[in-house]
Amino acid sequence: KWRVVFPNNERQKEAWDRAARLYSGNRIQTTKYTWLTFLPQNLFEQFHRLANLYFLFLVILNWFPQVQVFHREITMLPLLAVLLAISVKDAIEDYRKYQFDKAINSSKTRVYDK
């Protein structure tokens, strides 16, 4: 794919507008989540861990009266505690990345021209 460079004048403005749509912006984005995707994406990532799937299996298994060992609510506590702790950690980490990206994207740059 070739890169097309246009001079900054009015005659080439339409051609530049067409070519500019093909390229992404110059902004840095290292965050994983948005407000809408945080909960589903975070839970999806957490249940890819084998330990979390094991505790989920125990919670589901404990809902059957024939196999029930503890109260249903007590079995869910370890899983909920781990999920909550990891979610809070991921949210704080992603927010720090967002703040850093915002600082980098709003910093002034110096352009050298001959």
What lies within 8 Å, CB to CB, of 30 at 6+ separation is 97, 100, 101
Q: Cβ neighbours of residue 51 under 8 Å, at least 6 residues apart?
A: 82
**Percent of the chain's residues with pLDDT above 90:** 46
Separate counts of helices (H) and strands (E) for the chain: 4, 0
What does the pLDDT read at residue 90?
Answer: 96
CA gap 99, 87 in Å, rounded? 18
The overall average pLDDT reported for the chain is 85
Q: How confident is the model at residue 18 (pLDDT cuts 50, 70, 90)?
A: confident
Residue 36 has pLDDT above 60, yes or no: yes
Q: Name the more confident of 8 and 79.
A: 79
The predicted structure's pLDDT at residue 112: 67
Give the pLDDT mean for 82-89. Answer: 96
Rounded average pLDDT over 18-43: 86
> Is 56:47 a contact under the CB 8 Å cutoff?
yes
**Residues 40-83 pLDDT 10s:** 999 999 999 999 999 999 889 888 888 777 777 888 998 999 99
83: CB partners within 8 A, 6+ apart: 43, 46, 52
